[in-house]
Amino acid sequence: MGYAQELTRRMGPFQNFAISFAIICIVAGGITAFPAALSAGGGGSIGYIWPLGSLFALLVAAAMGQIASSYPTAGGIYHWSSILGGRGFGWAAAWFNLLGLMFVVSSVNFGLFNLFRDLFLAQVLGMDVTNWTSTGEFSTGWWVQTAFIAGVTIVQAILNHYFLRLTTILTDWSGYIILATTVVLTVSLLAFAPSLDFGRLFTFTNFTGDAGGGVWPQANVFLYVVALGLLHAVYTITGFDASAHTSEETRNAQREVPKGMIRSVWWSFLFGYFMVCAMVLALPNQTDASGTVIDGVAAAAKQGWASFNWLMQVSPMPFALKALIIIGIVVSNFLCALAGLTSCSRMMYAFARDGGLPMSNVLRKVSPIYRTPGAAIWVGGALSIVATLYGGAFLVLSTGCAVFLYLSYLMPIGAALKGEFSGEWTNKGPFDLKAASIPVAVLAVIGCALLIFVGVQPPQEKVGYLIVLMILALAAFWFAMEGKAAFGALFAALTVAAVYYFWRDPASNFGLWAAVVVAVVMAALLLVLRGKRFAGPPIGDEIARRRAEIAAAEAAIAQGS
C-alpha cells in the first residue's frame, strides 16, 4: 500500500480475531447496556432484537471484510474511504471513526467503574459506596469516578506503550476470559433461576418512562420502543474494525482480517444471546406489601440502570460463585478497554502518518525500542478520560460509540457500493462476496441509517448535537487546510453558534462560556491548519512510487548498518 513496515507483524489469525472479540466484549456492553433494552421493550427487546441487531452487525462486518481484503492497512476505515470516495471523504470518515474509538475506551472504562463500585465493592466486599456515586460534576462521587477512570486508563496506556508483548498476551487471553465468564454467568443464572418462563423472551412490554426507571423518556409508538432496544446489541457488537486497524501487524492480512471481523461478530452474537436471555429468564418475581406478585421483568426494569446489579444481588447463587463471576466481569471490561486503546492508537497513528491530524509529526512516531506509536497511545488515552468528565456520561458515551463507529462504517461501505454500481471498484481481494456483495452493502447502509436515527433521539440527543458540531467543525478545518480562509471562518462561526444554541441554559451562562472556549480553540486550530493541504493516503500510481522510494530507503539503511 506504499507504506514502510514500521509495526511488527506479530499477529496470527487467532490474535487478529481476539482483539476484535475483546473490544466487542459481550460481558461489557451486554451487561452495562442491558437496561437500555430491558427498559425499552422488556424481554422482547432481548429475545427478538438482539438477533436482529447482531444480524445487522454481521452484514456490516462482511461488507467491511470485503473492503479490508482489498486494502489491508492500519488505517482501516480511513484508507478505504479515501481510496473509494476521495481524500476529503476519507478524511471525514477518519475523524468519525477516531471519535467512535475514543468513545469505546471512555464508555467501557466508565462502565468498568460502575461495575467495580456496584458489584465488586458493594456486593463482594460489602462496602458502602454511597460516596462513590456521582451526583453531578465536582461532587465527591464525581472526583472518585474521575480518579478511578484516569488511573485505569493510565495503566492501559502504559501496557500499550511499553509492554506490547504483555498486551498481546492479555488480549489473546481476554478471549478465553470473556468466553469463560460468559459461560459461567449464563449457566449459573439458569441453574439458580427460581423458574424458567421462556415466554418472557418473546413478549414486548413498554417500560419507557417511570416503569423502566427513567432510562428512556415515555414513548407510546410501538416501533420506536422496539427500535430503542437495538442500541443494546449494536453498542455491544461494535469495534470489530479493530481487526482491520491491526492489518499491518497481521500475517496474511488479506485473508485473515475479514475472517477475524466476521468470526468476532458471530461468536459474540451467539454467546451473547445465550447470556442476555439467561439474564431475562433469571429475573425473580417479587411480591409487594399487599401480596401482589410482580413479574420479575417489570421489577427489574423498574430498577433502571441498576437492573443487572439488582439481578446479581437477589440471585440465590452461592457467594463464592457470585464473587468469581463478578471478578471475571470486571477483569473482562478492563481488557476490553485495553484492546480498545490499542485500536484507537493504531487508527490515530495511521491517520497522522498522512498528516490528517494536528501535531501529525508527533502522533505518527513509532518508538524504535518498543515498536509502538507512543504519542498516539497517550493522546488517545487522555482524550478518552476527558470524554468521561460529564457526570452522567454513560448513555451519551455508549450511544455515541455505536453511532459514530457505525457512521464511519457506513462511509466506506457506501463508497464501495457506489463503486460497484459504476464499475470503478473491481480490484477485490481474496475475500469476495461476489453476487451477495451489493445486497449485503445495501442492507448494511439501511441498517446504519436506522441506527443513527434511533441513536440521536432523547435522552441521547447530545449525540445528535455532536454529529452536527463535528460536521461544521470538520468543514471549517477542511476549508482552512485547502486555503479557503473565508469558508473556514464561516463554518467556524457556525460551530460556535451551534455550541451556544445546543447548550444554552437560562439558569446559567454555561452555553456562553462553552461557546467562548470553542471559539478560542477553533481560532487556534484554524491558524495551525491554514494552508496545510491534506494529501491523503497513497492511491493508484502513487502507491507504486512510494513503495519504490521506501524499498530504496530501506535498502540504503540495510547497507549502511
Q: Tell me how far apart the alpha carbons of residues 190 and 188 are, in angstroms, rounded to a whole number.
A: 5
In a domain, 181, yes or no: yes
The one-character DSSP state at 214 is T
For residue 27, the number of C-alpha atoms closer than 13 Å in the C-beta half-sphere is 27
pLDDT at 164 over 80: yes
Per-residue model confidence (pLDDT) at position 7: 46
Q: How far apart are the first and last CA of the chain?
A: 26
Phi, psi of 321 (to 5 degrees): -65, -45
> Is the residue at 482 inside a domain?
no
**How far is 58 from 53, CA to CA, in rounded Å?**
9
Question: 77 or 1, which is more confident?
Answer: 77
User: What is the mean pLDDT of the segment spanning 86-105?
Assistant: 91
Task: Please say if the pLDDT value at position 288 is more than 90.
Answer: no
Structural domain boundaries, residue 266: 13-285+292-458
Residue 551, in any domain of the structure: no
In the prediction, which pLDDT does 10 show? 57
Distance CA 227, CA 331 (A): 31
- Report pLDDT digits (tens) over 184-237: 999 999 999 998 999 999 999 999 999 999 999 999 999 999 999 999 999 899
Measured CA to CA, the distance from residue 69 to residue 472 in angstroms comes to 33
CA dihedral 382, 386, 388, 392 (to 10 degrees): 180
Which run of H or of E encompasses 51?
A: helix 49-70
Please check whether residue 546 lies inside any domain of the structure. Answer: no
pTM for the whole structure: 0.88
Backbone angles phi, psi at 11, to 5 degrees: -105, 130
pLDDT of res. 44: 96
Q: Is 442 exposed, middle or buried (0-12, 13-18, 19+ CB in 10 A)?
A: middle
Question: Cell digits for 460?
Answer: 441521547
Query: The cell 462553552 sits on which residue?
Result: 514
Whole-number average pLDDT of the chain: 88
Overall average pLDDT of the 267-287 stretch: 95
Residue 528: φ, ψ to 5°? -65, -40
Let me know how long the chain is: 561
Residue 322 one-letter amino acid: K
The tally of domains found in the chain comes to 1
pLDDT reported for residue 35: 95
Q: Tell me: pLDDT of 494 over 80.
A: yes
- Reported as a single tens digit per residue, the pLDDT across 21-72 is 888 999 999 999 999 999 999 999 999 999 999 999 999 999 999 999 988 8
Q: Is the pLDDT of residue 552 over 70?
A: no
Provide, rounded to the nearest whole percent, the portion of the chain with pLDDT above 70: 92
Domain of 452, CATH number, reads 1.20.1740.10
- Per-residue pLDDT band for 550 (boundaries 50, 70, 90) equals very low
Angle, in degrees to the nearest 10, between helices 437-455 and 49-70: 120
Burial of residue 242, with CB atoms counted within 10 A of its CB: 0-12 exposed, 13-18 middle, 19 or more buried: buried
Within a domain: residue 382? yes
Question: Residue 4's pLDDT is what?
Answer: 45
pLDDT digit string, tens, across residues 168-196: 889 888 889 999 999 999 999 999 999 89
- Tell me the pLDDT tens digit for each residue of 361-419: 889 888 888 888 999 999 999 999 998 887 556 778 888 888 999 999 999 999 999 99
Q: Is residue 516 part of a domain?
A: no
258 neighbors 67 (Cβ within 8 angstroms): no
